Amino acid sequence: MRKPFVVLTAALVAVSACAPGSGGDKPKPKAPSAVSTDIAKAGPVTLTVWDQEVLGGQNEQMEKLNAAFHAKYPNVTIKRVSRSFTDLEKTLRLALSGANPPDVVEANQGYGIMAALVKAGALVPLDPYEQAYGFRKRFPAGLTQLNSVTPDGKSLGSGNLYGVSMTGEAVGIYYNTDKLTKLGIKPPTTWAEFEQDLATAKGKGETPIYLANLEKFPAIHEFGVLLGQTTGKDALRNLVFGRGGAWTDPSIVQAAQKLADWAKNGYFPSDVNAGKYNDSPGPFAKGEGVFLIGGPWFAADLQKKMGDKVRYLLPPPAQAGGAPAATLGGPGLPLVITSKSKHPDVAAAYLNFMTTPQAMDVVTQTGGLAAVAPASAQPTTAVGRDLSAAWKTASDKDILVPYLDYSTTTFLDTLGGVLQEIIAGRKTAQQGMQEAQRDYAAFLAKR
């Protein structure tokens, strides 16, 4: 038995004896003149699109828009594959390194997915299509930046544009109007007022902020809002994009200290690190917590559970009516074109179609927060109007800072874990930020 086994082993090793990942050439970007916008003449084309728009009205939004695209170009059939965000992002690497990837996918920004795909030459830069579709003109500069990567995949925030987003996200503060009335307070107009409200709520036996932080990443939103108060948007962008600064800078540690103080003062639920983030709307709607920090992803669920009793505001500025404070957010998951797509021109037309003001109408009608101004549609709910107004302010005043976990490939875990420890009082703000900085410095060193 021994001999055949050895032969078998040798054969298996021989087959695998080449460096993993070799054999894929980087495609050359197209010249703008080679771009075709005449999609009707492209012949019968099947465009495979992978998206994660499965929650709430998102599914309807995609179905409507895909049908409209097919109606406009009957020769193009959209083959839609939709899966949850986690499933989609986990399978992208495998799918795009395979021989027959989808034409268009939704790829998350950051070093983990988008920059890694760019580095591998798996995505088509949209710059050759600029002349035809004007993607850069459609979005404010702050938003195109977040979908941009240098061609070597080493630096986020500059270089080529690789994706366009249909929706926007800004992390703000939801509040329960019933609770505010009961506490005798008004929606805060300054940050000092907000902190005063938190103290009032605590004093009257309420949980000031609902936070469920089992998954580590949620507290990054709280931390980001605090950073927006202590640190300027440019410094934060530079830090996240690896262009300068350190996580141990005084203003950063100050924000972490504030988070520690909030936790120590009992501003979060007692089981803060044990609650499941996606379940947050449930307890909040039942009255646990006066405020809830988060993005548009909570809106539909909260609206369904609380009706007009839930409203939303951007983190208030230092002075009433002053310049708005920076907060986390940016364009939603962008649509990108894969390099191995046989129909990049059709795919580009699809990206264009999905981000026109008319498409934004559909996004708004189905309850989404449109990335750019819709042609005519308006949100129908109070919280929807709040979000829409907040998004307009955020993109007009350019206050959005990328999610902090874009900093390194492991930062979601590192920073998330550190924040859990700071909230639990196991690490001081200074110790926690030193650990975050170690991960950050190690990543920058090998980048």
Partner 1 sequence: MKPLPTETPGTGRAGAKPPGEPRRVGYLYVLPALVVYAAFLLWPLLHGAYLSLFHWDGLTVGTWAGLGNYTQAISDPHLRGTFWHAAVLVFFYAVLPCCIAFLLVAVMSRSRPRGLTFFRTVLFLPQVVAMVAVAVAWQWIYSDHGPINGTLRLVGLGGLARGWLGDFTWALPSVGLIGTWAEIGLAMVLFLAGVQKIPRELYEAARVDGAGAVREFFAVTLPGLRRELSVALTLTVIAALRNFDLIYLTTGGGPGDATRVPAYEVYNRTFNTGEVGLACAIGIMIAIIVFAVTAGVGRLVEGRA
Residues found near partner 1 in the complex (CB under 8 A): 4, 8-9, 12-13, 16-17, 19-22, 90, 93-94, 96-97, 112, 116-117, 119-120, 122, 213-216, 269-276, 409-410, 412-413, 416-418, 420-421, 424, 426
Phi, psi of 321 (to 5 degrees): 75, 0
Q: How far is the CB of 48 from partner 1 (least distance, A)?
A: 19
With respect to partner 1, which residue has the nearer C-beta, 39 or 436? 436
With respect to partner 1, which residue has the nearer C-beta, 17 or 34? 17
With respect to partner 1, which residue has the nearer C-beta, 392 or 426? 426
Strand partners, 173: 293, 313
Q: How far is the CB of 261 from partner 1 (least distance, A)?
A: 19
Q: How far is the CB of 102 from partner 1 (least distance, A)?
A: 16
Q: How far is the CB of 372 from partner 1 (least distance, A)?
A: 31
With respect to partner 1, which residue has the nearer C-beta, 122 or 310? 122
With respect to partner 1, which residue has the nearer C-beta, 22 or 100? 22
With respect to partner 1, which residue has the nearer C-beta, 62 or 259? 259
What token pair was written down for 424?
């639990």
With respect to partner 1, which residue has the nearer C-beta, 187 or 417? 417
With respect to partner 1, which residue has the nearer C-beta, 83 or 93? 93
With respect to partner 1, which residue has the nearer C-beta, 355 or 409? 409
Instruction: Name, in order, each residue with C-beta under 8 angstroms of 13's C-beta and a sequence gap of 6 or more.
Output: none
Q: How far is the CB of 341 from partner 1 (least distance, A)?
A: 17
Residue pair 419/255 in contact (Cβ under 8 Å)? The answer is no
State the SS3 of the chain: CHHHHHHHHHHHHHHHCCCCCCCCCCCCCCCHHHCCCCHHHHCCEEEEEEECCCCCCHHHHHHHHHHHHHHHCCCEEEEEEECCHHHHHHHHHHHHHCCCCCCEEECCCCHHHHHHHHHCCCECCCHHHHHHHCHHHHCCHHHHHHCEECCCCCCECCCEECEEECEEEECEEEEEHHHHHHHCCCCCCCHHHHHHHHHHHHHCCCCCEECCCCCCCCHHHHHHHHHHHHCCHHHHHHHHCCCCCCCCCHHHHHHHHHHHHHHHCCCCCCCCCCCCHHHCHHHHHCCCCCEEEECHHHHHHHHHHHHHHEEEECCCCCCCCCCCCCEEEEECCEEEEECCCCCHHHHHHHHHHHCCHHHHHHHHHCCCCECCCCCCCCCCCHHHHHHHHHHHHHHHCCCEECCHHHCCCCHHHHHHHHHHHHHCCCCCHHHHHHHHHHHHHHHHHHC
The β-bridge relationship of strands 334-337 and 104-106 is antiparallel
Strand partners, 313: 173
CA distance 290 to 293: 10
Q: How far is the CB of 26 from partner 1 (least distance, A)?
A: 10
Q: How far is the CB of 8 from partner 1 (least distance, A)?
A: 6
Q: How far is the CB of 282 from partner 1 (least distance, A)?
A: 11
With respect to partner 1, which residue has the nearer C-beta, 90 or 342? 90
Q: How far is the CB of 141 from partner 1 (least distance, A)?
A: 29
CA distance 375 to 387: 17
With respect to partner 1, which residue has the nearer C-beta, 142 or 153? 153
Q: How far is the CB of 378 from partner 1 (least distance, A)?
A: 39
Q: How far is the CB of 6 from partner 1 (least distance, A)?
A: 12
